[in-house]
Structures are given as structure tokens and as C-alpha cells.
Amino acid sequence: MDTLAHQRPTTALDPLIAFRADEPAVDARRQVLGDPVFVGGIALGEAGELAPARKVLLVDDHDLVRLGIRALMGNLRRVEWLEAASLADAVELYHEHSDIALVLLDLNLADCKGLQGLARLLNAHPSARVVVLSGTQDEFVVRQAKAMGAAGYLHKGGSPDAMRETLRAILDVDSPGKGGSARTAQHFPKFPSASSYDRVAELGARHLEILELVLSGCANQEISNSTKLSLGTVKNYVSTILLALDVRSRSHLISLFR
């Protein structure tokens, strides 16, 4: 365990992972928290009532990260955790459990890169409430996630208290009338921006899809395979994006959002 921990970048989850390191391995598809506990002595349900367990689907392809997040969020009362190590498993689990209250979705999965995972999950299950879980601090990614229908954005490098409170607040909004646009905006962090982001809004949907894949590190051939577009068409889209954002190369483009 120590050797593996040294191979990962330090995040806010590391102290929690170390604290829970002696726990047995869990099934990557399902894990239920047992005895309920309180957040500062306050239950998530109405006062005097036993709140029903709410299912949260955690999607991340690293066992240690899933373990750390569950430890971090362990103070949430009456939460039943479902776990998936791939987007395919997540889609299947959501189909099996239609009463899932929230999905925590990592953006860098083995079978899906970037916001395409969010798009595919919402396409398969339009009513899903999805919170993006990512180490990326790009304002472009946050804006796109929100525009695509995400319920929130959790940065893996954020403080444990902030992450826990954000998730608790999102879980506590059970209906549109209980929340509001102002409250929803609080679930999306603000990162340093630049004028280039404003030009992104002028791009079409397909351009945005390809831009997101470029920012994920995909080569033209990979983008072609993913989008089912010809290689020549992909090159034309990439050239248009570079021109629209007034950048000289792919590396220059990527640097604007890093």
C-alpha cells in the first residue's frame, strides 16, 4: 500500500486513504455504508425522522481514490454507496438502480476521456444528477460541465471540508424548488479565466466536442475513431478551432486551458 501511495500525486484524499488503509478491499461495483452517523449532529432528513438511505454512484477507475472518497464522505448520514470502475459499468448500474440520487463521475476513466463521459452518461440516463469529480482546474471544463447538465463540480485537490459540504448541499436539494440558480452556482468552483474562454462560446457543438478531446490529449486519429468522423474532417475542425482562438499550435491551445 505504501509503495502504491508514493506513485500517486498528493491530493486532499491522501490522509483519509492512509487512515482507512487497513480496511479490506471492496467490490468495485457495490459498497454499502453500515451504521448511519450524523454531520455535526444534524441528520440529512427532516427533524425527528429517519431519512431513507440515498444511493450515490461513485465512478472512478482507481480503487484507492474510491476508498478515499468514501472515507471523506463517510459522515453523510444514510448513504448507500454504489461503485463502478468504468463508464460502461456506471451506465449498467444506473439502469439497475433507477433510484440513484447522485452520481460522482471522474473525468479520466479507462474507457472514456474528459467530458465525453458526462455526455454519454446523461445521454443514456437524462434524469441522472451527476457531479463531476476531477483534478482539473480548467475554467473551460467547469463551464462546459455546467452547460452540459452537471449538478456540480468537485475538485479532487480541494479541502476535505469543502468537498464534503458541497456534496451534502447537492444531496440536500431534492427538488428544483428547494434550490435555485444562485445556490446551484455555488456547486461550481471558480478558477482563473482568460479572454479565450469567451471565444469558446462562439464555437458550434461539434467544435466544442473536438476541442474537449484535444484538451484531453487525444491525437487526430483518436478523435476520428471516437467521433466517427474522417481524419481529414477532424483536421479541418482542429484548424478551425486554432484559427477561432487565435493560437499557433495544439500545444499553444492546450496551454491556454492549463
Q: In this predicted model, what pLDDT tens digit does every residue of 139-189 receive, in sequence order?
A: 777 887 888 889 999 888 888 888 888 888 888 764 444 444 445 556 887
Same domain flag for 74 and 154: yes
Strands 130-134 and 100-106: parallel
pLDDT-derived band of residue 1, with 50, 70 and 90 as boundaries?
very low
State the CB neighbour count (10 A cutoff) for residue 255.
Answer: 10
Same domain flag for 179 and 228: no
Same domain flag for 58 and 118: yes
What CATH code is carried by the domain that includes residue 215?
1.10.10.10
Write out pLDDT tens, residues 40-68.
434 444 444 555 778 999 999 999 889 98
Same domain flag for 169 and 45: yes
Write out pLDDT tens, residues 204-248.
778 888 988 888 888 999 999 989 999 999 999 999 888 877 778
pLDDT for residue 10: 53
pLDDT for residue 236: 93
Same domain flag for 142 and 75: yes
Give Dmax over CA atoms of the chain in angstroms. Answer: 63
Residue 190 lies in a domain: no
Same domain flag for 229 and 106: no
DSSP string, 177-240: GGS-HHHHHTTS------HHHHHHTTS-HHHHHHHHHHHTT--HHHHHHHHT--HHHHHHHHHH
pLDDT for residue 93: 95
pTM above the 0.85 mark?
A: no
Same domain flag for 137 and 242: no
Same domain flag for 155 and 250: no
Same domain flag for 119 and 14: yes
Q: Report the alpha-carbon angle 17-64-18, nearest 5.
A: 20
Q: How far is 202 from 197, CA to CA, in rounded Å?
A: 10
pLDDT for residue 202: 63
Position 20: which residue type?
Answer: R
Domain that holds residue 247: 195-256
Same domain flag for 59 and 161: yes
3-class secondary structure, 112: strand
Count up the domains in the chain and report the number: 2
Q: Which of 17-26, 79-88, 109-118, 201-210 has the lowest mean pLDDT?
A: 17-26
Q: How far is 128 from 146, CA to CA, in rounded Å?
A: 14
pLDDT for residue 26: 43
Chosen domain end from 162, 185, 208:
185
Q: How far is 245 from 198, CA to CA, in rounded Å?
A: 10
Q: Which residues contact 59 (CB under 8 A, 6 or more apart)?
A: 83, 84, 85, 86, 87, 89, 90, 103, 104, 105, 106, 109, 117, 133
